[in-house]
Amino acid sequence: MSTCYGIIKQSGGHISLYSEPGHGSTFKIYLPEVESQAALAVKRPNLPALPRGTETVLLVEDDPALREAAATLLTRLGYTVVAAANGIDALGLQYQSDVRRFDLLFTDVVMPQMSGRELAEKMTDLHPRIRILYTSAYTENAISHQGVLDKGVSLLQKPFTPSALAHKLREALDRPNGSRSVPVS
């Protein structure tokens, strides 16, 4: 519920709840009206160019829609993207002959079968120079308090914008070799 509430609030909406014992609960979500795509295309301002790269990114996201959207954006920014639905699939990619080394692991924190943290630990054993960028719908505070991630790791909050992803990814890749993750800003 807290994730839903956060997404609704970030979108400029609100949520109401009605509940009766023995009859259940009703949640009503109110979001601002969105203009049609044609109107949005006309009003779109010229945005500054997003940071680009040519590195290889291992993208691990259990939500198919988010995985596809992130892969598309990263590909448009020039990156080679290898995508996996979970940590086990990601580790299996090591044995495919067409997979080169990975420069960065971009992984969801909370996933079924294997957490992003567990995956990152295994990937750093296989690729000691790999950079790590986590993403989650949970806040940094909630994640560190639950012991899921250490404080100071690189975390991109969901939902994220293309600009936020491009900048955070470039920041992670441009860090000196001795540090794998980027402090949260």
- Domains of the chain, residue spans: 2-33, 56-173
Q: Among 62-66, 71-75, 144-148, name the one with the lowest average pLDDT.
A: 144-148
| pLDDT score at 164 | 93
Cβ 133 vs Cβ 70: under 8 Å: no
- pTM to 2 decimals? 0.68
Predicted confidence band at 103 (pLDDT cuts at 50, 70, 90)? very high
Average pLDDT over residues 164-173: 94
Give the pLDDT score at 44: 52
Task: For residue 61, give the nearest of 112, 17, 121, 9 by alpha carbon.
Answer: 112
In terms of Cβ atoms closer than 10 Å to its own Cβ (0-12, 13-18, 19+), residue 180 is: buried
Q: What is the mean pLDDT of residues 157-179?
A: 86
The overall average pLDDT reported for the chain is 80
Average pLDDT over residues 6-29: 81
Using CA atoms, how far apart are residues 116 and 141, in angstroms rounded to an integer?
17
Tell me whether residue 20 is exposed, middle or buried, using C-beta atoms within 10 angstroms of its C-beta: 0 to 12, 13 to 18, 19 or more: exposed
Judged against a pLDDT cut of 50, whether residue 47 lies above it is answered with yes
**CATH assignment, 56-173:** 3.40.50.2300
Q: What is the pLDDT of residue 33?
A: 81
Query: What share of the chain has pLDDT > 70, as a percent?
Result: 76
Task: Summarize the confidence of residues 49-63 as an average pLDDT.
Answer: 94
